[in-house]
Chains A and B, each alone.
Chain A
Amino acid sequence: MNDSPTVLVHAKGLRKDYGSGDGLVRALDMVDLDVNRGEAVAVMGPSGCGKSTLLHLIGGLDRPSAGQLSVAGQRIDELSERALAYLRRDEIGFVFQTFHLMDELTAQENVELPALVAGFSPNEARTRATALLEQVGLADRARHLPSMLSGGQRQRVAIARALVNDPGIVLADEPTGNLDSASAFDVLSLLADLHAKGLTLVIVTHDERIATTADRLISMRDGAFVDETRLTGGSRGDLSTFAEWEHLG
């Protein structure tokens, strides 16, 4: 196991199977991965290649069938359900393709939910939510329900929610998959800003343009890593490329 303080995520021989016997599906097969603090890693591949499964395992939303996986120094494959919940609460923020906001809660209430779950006082949770909505440019939409927000605005609310407990890492699963180009650009800009401030990011996508905004690009196929590229220039530089592509397109 890599105990280096700079390594936030460490996976060794990670395997995930679904079903059994003839119906066995191997979603992940012997995956090794290290993600350093402050790094932005993009995982790319076609639908069904196992990239979302990898993200779910890193986030403690599911358990590996075999192999070792540690996040922030804790062995996820050995933690109890309760300990996994505490790890998600303290160290991990999620951003989903379909946002997964609570329909009956306002933007502000959605953002403060993880803080309330973590045991912050209602006032502290509200202060954090207000500051984050300000940061993602939605201060004036704080009292809006998700149904009154555009897709891009919903995803920005989801990002604010992911950040409210100051997590060590944010895991984004196709964060722009349901957005138009302009909204996608906004969301990526936001993620890039957060990364520039030191946030560790793992982004799963099947869009090459988004993948190139990361520090490192990992390609997956049939549950395994097939290629790994260290990109240069950082996310900011590549975002402008993304914008150029959009403009040309």
Chain B
Amino acid sequence: MSQPRRARRAGRVRGRALLLFRLARQDIRHHLAQAVLLVVAIAAATAVLSLAFALNGVISNPYQQTMAATKGPDVVAQSGDDPYTGLTSPADLAALEALNHAKGVAAHSGPYPIVGDTGPVGPVMRSTDLVTTVQVEGREPGVAAVDQPKVTDGTWIRPGGVVVERSFAEVANLRLGQTITLNGHPVRVVGFAVTSAFGGFPGTSLIWATEAAARGLAAKADPLSYISNLKLSDASPRAVSAFVNAYGLKYSAPADATTPFLTSWTELAYGDAAFLRTDQAFLFTGTVLLGLLALASVAVLVGGRLAEATRRVGLLKATGGTPGLVAATFLAENLFLALVAALVGLLAGWRAAPFISKPEADLIGTPGAPLLTLVTVAVAVGLALAVALASTLVPAIRAARMSTVSALADAPRLPKRRDWLIGLSRKLPLPALLGLRLVARRPRRAIFSAASIAVAVMGLVAALAIHAAVDNKFAHLGRSGGLVNPEVPRAEQVLTAITISLVALAALTVIFAALATVLDARRASAVTLAVGATPQQVRAGLIMAQVIPALPGAILGLPLGIGLFKVAGHGLNGLPPAGWLVAAVLGTVVVVAALTSVPARIGLRRPVAEMLQTEAT
């Protein structure tokens, strides 16, 4: 007896699933453009999220490739010096030489003399169009056992010929064969090279010369210090860290200690990937903002579609569909689209990752395609489903609760009434009167519009603030002599891409809201035209219905953007000029008006008589 009952239940479930599938497929086919827009909105958020996650897997790749190609050291040791004069004593040098033979050291190179590595100044380099201070490391012309910089162009050093670290050479615009001066001594640039023993520009402006040339550049204000490169028998992060702790200078050491200062390869790799971590932080912040915008965008879109789907809801209920089934049809379709969006976003993020994880010029190699981990997929899919669920739930419940009779009659949802807003509107010019009354009819939509504008302006203001502050902080570093930090354009590219995504998604929300408002206001617009309003006045009213929530949204976006900059700006200081902020608000309002004017014009294209007859209920 229970077997047939179970079979019947299973049949019912299969039947419902088939019905849901058919309804969803049919609706997507009929509203393909809206479905595509919904996928785009959610995919933008998941793409940025998966991009941020994808960077996790590639941050250390280029450093390790460079390390392998240059016999990179596991530990770089720098001689101790007098904290007041910067002079390296014979005892300091002896301590460094002793470290070359410490337990656990498998190979070493150095000590090499280096000038400009301590103290506020360094040797002055002059080229055709640049004067800046640099660091010069003295090396032997032969091949070193550890840290042999990889020459990418030209040849290795020789007397009278220097090799310039590649990232510095790029920003200093140096050419092979060019003659430069170091403290007034002319030398020829014979090569460009990379190393894993030093971070690239702007942390270091490194030039390799012969040891004799390096020693010759030392001065009282610029004393020599020494560098040793150590290869350990166990290069694991744990073993290297233990070595550094055992032999390195401790903060508690006395001022006259001769212990060398040690830097592990893990610290160097971490420093080299700093720009990626900055990008990653921007991407995670961008994900949150895009997720919020997608939520508003999809909510407005789904809410607008409910108005169109009223009759279908009535038919479904009249033929025996339960409220649960009605809600399920709404949810199923949008959850399916969210899944598609998650996959599109994952794919887009995965394909875009190599572009933004391309290493700086101080490293060689390529980051390779990032791995799509289970965590990345799960988080992206979770985000997409959460956005779809949160934005569809209210319209789905509303559809489920709709009266069958009024749904069949395709009766418009009764607008809300706000006494004070209607009272206030009476005193305003006609477009503002109409706009404010439209806002009062659908406050939820107005809130979503305002929220999406606030989020977009927040992102825009944060990007402007970071743009201004990054320029201030990095573009004029002491050693770089006015050269532009190559990290700045990269960070700004990422920021610009996120900001463009935010603005595009906000624009999409405005268009969705405008379309929904125009559709919802068809009858009100027709009646207003019938009683003597001009089409221009009604069109202006529809535009005002979008501008009214956009203005407070844009104004709210200013402090939110500054707050976001303070939180996510990594300690950067400064604000964009007030003129930029005012322009951001006014520009937003103008763009909203322009975006709304198109659906408003389309909505009022039909003759008033036709609009009135269509909307007669």
Contact = CB atoms under 8 A, between A and B. Distances in A.
A100 B614 CA distance: 12
Q: Which of A53, A94, A103 has its CB near the most chain B CB atoms (within 10 A)?
A: A103
Interface of B: 414-417, 422, 426-427, 430, 433, 437, 440-441, 523-524, 526-537, 607-610, 612-613, 616-617
A109 B418 CA distance: 13
A3 interface: no
Interface size class, chain A: 35 or more
Contacts of B607: 56, 61-63
B113 to A, nearest CB: 84
B414 A114 contact: no
Contact of B528 (A109, A113, A145): A113
Contacts of B426: 109, 112, 116, 122, 125
B533 A85 contact: yes
A98 B526 CA distance: 13
B609 A100 contact: no
Given A62-B608, A116-B430, A122-B427, A82 B415 contact: no
A242 B559 CA distance: 69
Contact of B527 (A90, A102, A116): A102
A60 to B, nearest CB: 8
A225 interface: no
A89 interface: yes
A39 B531 CA distance: 22
Contacts of A113: 528, 531
B464 to A, nearest CB: 40
B609 A61 contact: yes
Given A61-B609, A100-B612, A104-B441, A85 B414 contact: no
A81 B535 contact: yes
Nearest to A88: B532
Contacts of B609: 52-53, 56, 59, 61-62
Given A98-B617, A104-B422, A117 B612 contact: no
Interface in A73-88: 81-82, 85-86, 88
B527 A100 contact: yes
A103 B531 contact: no
A86 B535 CA distance: 11
Contact of B415 (A63, A81, A103, A112): A103
Given A52-B609, A81-B535, A116-B433, 8 more contacts: A53-B609, A61-B529, A61-B530, A61-B608, A85-B535, A100-B526, A100-B530, A113-B528
A156 interface: no
Contacts of A97: 616
B535 to A, nearest CB: 5
A119 B617 CA distance: 29
A97 to B, nearest CB: 7
Interface in A149-206: 161, 165
A179 B417 CA distance: 26
Contacts of A118: 532
Interface in A50-69: 52-53, 56, 59, 61-63
Contact of B524 (A102, A109, A122): A102
A82 B531 contact: no
A96 B617 CA distance: 11
Nearest to A57: B609
A105 interface: yes
Contacts of B613: 52
Contacts of B417: 104-105, 145
14 contacts: A61-B530, A62-B607, A85-B529, A85-B534, A98-B617, A100-B530, A100-B612, A102-B527, A104-B441, A105-B422, A112-B426, A114-B531, A114-B532, A117-B537
B282 to A, nearest CB: 44
A147 interface: yes
A82 B616 contact: no
B530 A94 contact: yes
Contacts of B616: 96-98, 100
A141 to B, nearest CB: 16
B371 to A, nearest CB: 56
B610 A89 contact: no
A109 B531 contact: no
B437 A86 contact: no
Contacts of B530: 59, 61, 88, 94, 100
B440 A117 contact: no
B529 A109 contact: no
A86 B612 CA distance: 19
B416 A104 contact: yes
B142 to A, nearest CB: 88
A103 B441 CA distance: 10
A-B pairs with lowest CB-CB distance, top 9:
A89-B532, A56-B609, A114-B531, A61-B609, A85-B534, A62-B609, A61-B608, A104-B415, A104-B417
A100 B532 contact: no
Nearest to A18: B610
B527 A85 contact: no
B453 to A, nearest CB: 24
B610 A62 contact: yes
A96 B527 CA distance: 10
A122 B440 CA distance: 19
B253 to A, nearest CB: 78
Nearest to A89: B532
A100 B523 contact: yes
A30 to B, nearest CB: 20
Given A61-B608, A100-B523, A103-B415, A117 B427 contact: no
